[in-house]
Amino acid sequence: MAQTLAIYLLITRELAEEAKMPTNFRYWNGTEQVSDAALLAEFMLWLAVRGDCANEAFNFANGDHFTWRFMWPRLAETFRAYSTPDQIFSKAEPAMGELRQEFSLARWAADKKPLWCEMCDATGTPEAKDAFDCAAWQSLDESFQRSWTCNVSMSKAREYGWSGFKDSFDSFSSAFADLKTQRKIF
């Protein structure tokens, strides 16, 4: 997710376009959770060494909740792209359970690879060109078109003693920093 978002935000900045989130009004304002890969790895290790967790099922998420309405502009600001928590949606709010989004990220990205490659060359990171092909455009479309939230409870893990937590904005920031270090973005 982080790589795809970063590429989208960098390209919208380059085009001087508003970095609109390709979602709908209901999802924009609903609560959301994400999972940090490093924290998930810690959780899996924690589970593996605890006998009382054997043959038990656990949910996993960072431990916080956010709304995209306020998270998205913060992510955009990370890349100096313009976004607002007051994004205007032209399509009607979907009924609960209905799939809808303002625009398809996959369709938006369809003609952007040449621009991305130019940006990579201009910033001295030609190795980042391949990151565009690894971006999960369709996967994000599938997530962002939902009209419902998908929050999981960490209560069972907490009852078993898990105390891990990571702020989701910090999770995105760490992922973006890692992608820059790996020269997949700039």
| pLDDT for the residue numbered 156 | 98
Exposed, middle or buried: residue 45 (CB in 10 Å: 0-12, 13-18, 19+)? Answer: exposed
Reference 120, options 175, 182, 185; nearest CA is: 185
| pLDDT for the residue numbered 155 | 98
| pLDDT for the residue numbered 162 | 99
In this prediction, residues 129-152 reach a mean pLDDT of 97
Cβ pair 154, 61 in contact under 8 A: yes
Cα-flanking dihedrals φ and ψ of residue 164, to 5°?
-65, 150
Q: How confident is the model at residue 51 (pLDDT cuts 50, 70, 90)?
A: very high
